[in-house]
Structure 1
Amino acid sequence: MGVNRCIAVLGGSFDPVHSGHVALAELFVALLAPDELRILPAGNPWQKPPLKADAAQRITMLRLAFEHLEVPVVIDEQEIHRQGATYTIDTLKALRAEAGPQASIAFLIGADQLLHLHTWKQWRQLFDHAHLCAASRPGFDMTALPPEVAQEFSQRRGDAARVRAAAHGLGLLAGNLAVDISATQIRQALRNDQPVGTLIPSAVLDYIQQHHLYKN
């Protein structure tokens, strides 16, 4: 382990948190061995419709979903408390200010988010504050990426050791995240009393059922 701390950051609406989120975190915890996993539930995501579960419910579900990990997990509520639209660039600037210039900050995303990374506010400047670590699902076609995103990633491509050693600026692509789950599908199944099986961690499903979430 290097002298620098490594903070893995996973953001999302988590409405609800599901097994795909957990698998993504587990993949990069195994790959990067970070000193901390920072979970960032969104407040008011500008690219998505309004959230169904409230902030307190989503935070409780996150605690239940990630409590088994062998790494310190911190639920960071900064986006929930920020007024107005939430942008990743603002969050990463705040995280960098908090962690200091030396820490490695690895922002974790699913590779499908790379398809519209170029629509994110100041997306190229994300690399000034963090590494972008993407996990692809089976069959994900890198040639489907927007050319500017593909070019940026190939120029910045790093491996786990380099991501841990450097503070920011690299792109890491991890293949074979064999989970393909959408929160929209899960909400629909819950609303229609259809089984969701292993799509949601069992403790989270228990909580959803006890509190009758996503019913209407």
Structure 2
Amino acid sequence: MNKPPVVLLMGGSFDPVHNGHVAVAGYFIKLLAPDALRLVPAGDPWQKGALVAPAADRVAMLRLAFERQPVPVVIDEQEIRRSDGSYTVNTLRSLRAELGPDASLAWIMGADQLEKFDTWREWRSLFDLAHFCVASRPGYSLEQARLPAEVAKEFSRRLGSAAQMRDCAHGLTLFASNLSFDMSSTGLRAALARGERPAQALPPTVLDYIQQQHLYQS
């Protein structure tokens, strides 16, 4: 009898996708050894400002950035197609319906997102749908973080290992506190608008695509 699949999930605006996204995904791929990586570009992210690059270009950049991975990569466009806001709980419910109740789903998020996790729609229900992997800077800890008390309590009591995540469907948290990437899509857009070529921050194929399509120009 085949074991249920382990699927690593990464959502975001990816406006543009950068080396930090690729490195964080790569870290958790090595840690969890998933059967697949699923990328979920946002359609209308309600907690962020308007997106700059069209959806088709963000999807194309994701394909370029993640074209060489040790696991199959799927770009899930459901949030782009959705007419309402990009709420993670809706996305996870859709994925759970598609992949089944036994699949292990592990959602990657940044420590900055964790600090406002209690503002996510139906945030407590999210643990009934997936695990959560938090990528944080060196030295980061739940005790020192500026987290809402209920979020800190929930994430602390659910701490698990990569092996445990692989063996159950949802409900655990995992922290990687040795990741350090000082880059943001906002800063990269500003640099590109100034005519700079931030080659250290962007995959070469993505940078070439941005310049060929004249994206983020002022």
Q: TM-score normalised to the size of structure 2?
A: 0.96
**CA contact under 8 A between 1:64 and 1:204: conserved in structure 2?**
yes
Corresponding residue for residue 207 of structure 1: 209
Hey, what does 1:195 align to over in structure 2?
197
* Alignment match, 1:158: 160
2:173 to 148, 171, 174: 171
Question: Structure 1 unaligned runs (5+)?
Answer: none
- Distance (whole Å) between structure 2 residues aligned to residue 75 and residue 137 of structure 1: 27
Q: Which has the higher helix share?
A: 1
What is the CA distance between 1:139 and its match in structure 2? 3.8
**Where does structure 1 differ by over 6 angstroms across 4 or more consecutive aligned residues?**
none
Aligned-CA RMSD value: 1.1
Shift of 1:138: 2.1
For structure 2, the residue ranges without an aligned partner over 5 or more in a row are none
Q: Secondary structure at the match of 2:71?
A: coil
Is the 1:137–1:180 Cα contact (8 Å) retained in structure 2?
Answer: no
Specify the alignment match of 1:103 in structure 2. Answer: 103
- Give the Cα–Cα distance (whole angstroms) in 2 for the partners of residues 3 and 79 of structure 1: 28
Write the letter of the residue equivalent to 1:182: S
DSSP 3-state at the match of 2:10: strand
**1:67 maps to 2:67:** yes
Residue among 148, 167, 188 paired with 2:150: 148
Would the aligned equivalents of 2:141 and 2:177 in 1 still touch at CA under 8 Å? no
Distance 1:181 1:110 in 2: 12
Give the secondary structure class of the aligned counterpart of 2:200.
helix
- Percent identity over the alignment? 57
Given that 1:129 and 1:169 are in contact with CA atoms closer than 8 Å, whether structure 2 keeps it comes out as yes
In structure 2, give the amino acid aligned to 1:193: G
Report deviation, 1:141. Answer: 4.5
Normalised to the residue count of structure 1, the TM-score between the two structures is 0.97
Paired residue for 2:89?
A: 89
Alignment coverage as a number of residue pairs: 215
